[in-house]
Amino acid sequence: MRSKVLFLPVIMAFVTALAGCTPTAMEGRNVFSSDYRAVSDAGYHLPRVPISKVPKKYHRQVVTFETKEKPGTIIVDTREKFLYLILDGGKALRYGIGVGREGFQWSGVAHVAMKREWPTWTPPATMIRRQPELARWAKGMPPGLANPLGPRALYLFQDGRDTLYRLHGTPEWYSIGQATSSGCIRLMNQDIIDLYKRTRIGAKVIVKR
């Protein structure tokens, strides 16, 4: 699907307000955000993203987006490296993403079965076989800045089963727009925090290749 980005010059105070506004408050606006400041969250300090080094198309922004899917649906375009949260009125909140490298992609329709703040990460057995050094985390890696899932994770299930794919954060802002992960969809830490609070349990997720 194609989207047409509509930019609106904003003053700093308005950009700051964007980080805390709800989808309802944003409807009808065409908003672009460069607010990726440092965040203190649950006792952790997430550093500022040097957002000027990230292509603007991957910054969080409201875009025109025509779809028959209901508001609250998440559509992941792995080819273009965008994640869309559908809003009312032909709009969507778009985030830049990093996706799975060749051989690790997944596509299909799933739903968000769980949401976790500062989640534990447990590498799948197949990953441990490829990278034996990860065996130390076979029972789970504690939350923290070094945890690959970052500050938030949305767990994708299909037909009642865990797909093992997640929407999660990453401190590796430079990987956004790239195909480098082991299959999961990664967002900048500030973006996954934003998406997390806007997404409900049971939300439909469509992953396209």
Nearest to 163 by CA among 96, 105, 83: 105
Nearest to 198 by CA among 19, 45, 69: 19
Rounded CA gap, 59 and 40, in Å? 21
Maximum Cα–Cα distance across the chain? 51
Q: Which residues contact 130 (CB under 8 A, 6 or more apart)?
A: none
Q: So which residues are the catalytic ones?
A: 168, 184
Q: 171 in the Ramachandran plot: left (φ > 0), alpha (ψ -120 to 50) or beta?
A: alpha
Cα pseudo-dihedral 94, 44, 140, 98, rounded to 10: 20
33 CB-contact burial (10 Å; exposed 0-12 / middle 13-18 / buried 19+): buried
